[in-house]
Amino acid sequence: MAIIRFTNCKLCDEGQLIDHDLYICTRSGQIVEPRLSIDRVVDLHGLIIAPGFIDLQINGCFGFDFSHYSTDENYEAGYDKCLKRLVKTGTTSLCPTMITSTAQNYSRILPFLGKEKRSDRTESLGAHCEGPIISKKKKGCHDVRNLKRPSSKEEFYQVYGGQKTFQYMKIITAAPELEGFLELIPEITGNNVVYSIGHTMATFEQSLAAVKNGATMITHMFNAMPQPHHRNPGPIGLEGLEDEGMCPYFGLISDGIHIHPTYINIIYNSNKERCCLVTDAMNLIGLPDGEYPWEERFVVKKGRSLILKGTDTIAGSATEQAQCMRNLKKWCDIGLAEAVKCVTNHPAKCAHVDDHKGFLRVNYDADLCVIDKDGNVKQVYKLGKKVYDEREDILRGHL
């Protein structure tokens, strides 16, 4: 058993920064109790250890689109390659997101996206199916030809290629106001899948009914939903419920494109303990600016902005999760430890993996992100194995 002690560091967890050593076992890939006998000491020279980041909504990265299928061989190779790059950004777990698609594509792709344990790449907690049971008025860049409105349990399961595909899922985003859908929410949660309100025209009352039926999340808050009105706040108003236990977690894209920083500040402060920073990243993250083909259309990438060509429709994001966390820290004028909760503790709770991920606790997975005081990623450990070191990468670049 190989025991590593991280020393001369601060631990960042549950909103606190404390001076303390951390012990991990490389064989089990878990955090362990302090030991007298250790195999290696890692001096972090004052850096900070946080849990690995968790992204609950990401559509692809580094040239690979989770919703695009050609062959099993190509999909497996592309998926592996992009996740081996993604882990170096500090995001150690994710819910790979398929946007609105066909039953055939769900059947083909979802088995690749099921939960896993990997020490060499970002691991999946299970897929996030964003659509196709969504509002036409709030479809965003989703293909209207593939939108569905199932009228029975049988039709509902067939939307995703059959009930067998639910074993690979973690989250489903759907519009609760669609006729007959409220009765289908228990089918989602009964399969151990999180139901998230999104791409919707739901009123506050319809959104509240969805929560009472089992909704525990809101997908990319403010985007693809009615904007808050003083007499009808829509889904956004759920964050002001007096019963804190009923308030859903919410995905927030703090890239500076999807939402103005002022509104980031407002919604974060409305319910700090339910905020989960997501990237909603597309496959174009990490690629040069330009025009790229996408689902018989084109996406224009300019810096962090992705727009469907010829429209003003946002087509996902091109910002890494660590940058979203730094943005939140700046725009909400909060400490680093508070911002870190929104990429670790909160998403772990939302995805129901907080019994083994998202915290620096004994017997939890040793998915670790070593950052500086400003939140810049310096090292990443996946299940106790170092998978990224900024200094080593710089040295390799000079060779």
Q: Give residue-wise pLDDT tens across range 34-53.
A: 998 999 999 999 999 999 99
Residue numbers annotated as active site? 280
pLDDT digit string (tens) for 232-280?
899 999 988 878 789 999 999 999 988 999 999 999 999 999 999 999 9
Angle, vertex CA 174, rays to CA 170 and CA 175, nearest 5: 155
With CA atoms as reference, report the closest residue to 133 among 96, 167, 176, 183: 176
Determine the Cα–Cα distance for residues 281 and 123; give it in Å rounded to an integer: 16
Determine the Cα–Cα distance for residues 385 and 178; give it in Å rounded to an integer: 46
pLDDT digit string (tens) for 334-355?
999 999 999 999 999 999 999 9
To which CATH superfamily is domain 3-50+361-398 assigned? Urease, subunit C, domain 1 (2.30.40.10)
- Which residues are known binding-site members for substrate? 141, 223-224, 231, 258, 314-316
For the purposes of burial, counting CB atoms within 10 Å of the CB of 333, is it exposed (0-12), middle (13-18) or buried (19 or more)?
exposed
Domain boundaries, the chain: 3-50+361-398, 53-350
- Which residues are known binding-site members? 130, 141, 199, 220, 223-224, 231, 258, 314-316
- Which residues are known binding-site members for Zn(2+)? 130, 199, 220
With CA atoms as reference, report the closest residue to 129 among 40, 77, 191, 87: 191
Give the phi and the psi of residue 130 in degrees, each rounded to 5. -95, 95
pLDDT digit string (tens) for 386-397?
999 998 877 676
> Are 60 and 282 contacting, i.e. CB atoms less than 8 angstroms apart?
yes
> Are 11 and 2 contacting, i.e. CB atoms less than 8 angstroms apart?
no
The three-state secondary structure class of 82 is: helix
Q: At what angle do helices 321-331 and 261-270 cross, to 10 degrees?
A: 80
pTM score of the predicted model: 0.96
What is the pLDDT at residue 249? Answer: 97
Fold observed for domain 53-350: TIM Barrel (3.20.20)
pLDDT digit string (tens) for 196-225?
999 999 999 999 999 999 999 999 999 999
pLDDT digit string (tens) for 172-187?
999 999 999 999 999 9
State yes or no: pLDDT of 332 exceeds 70.
yes
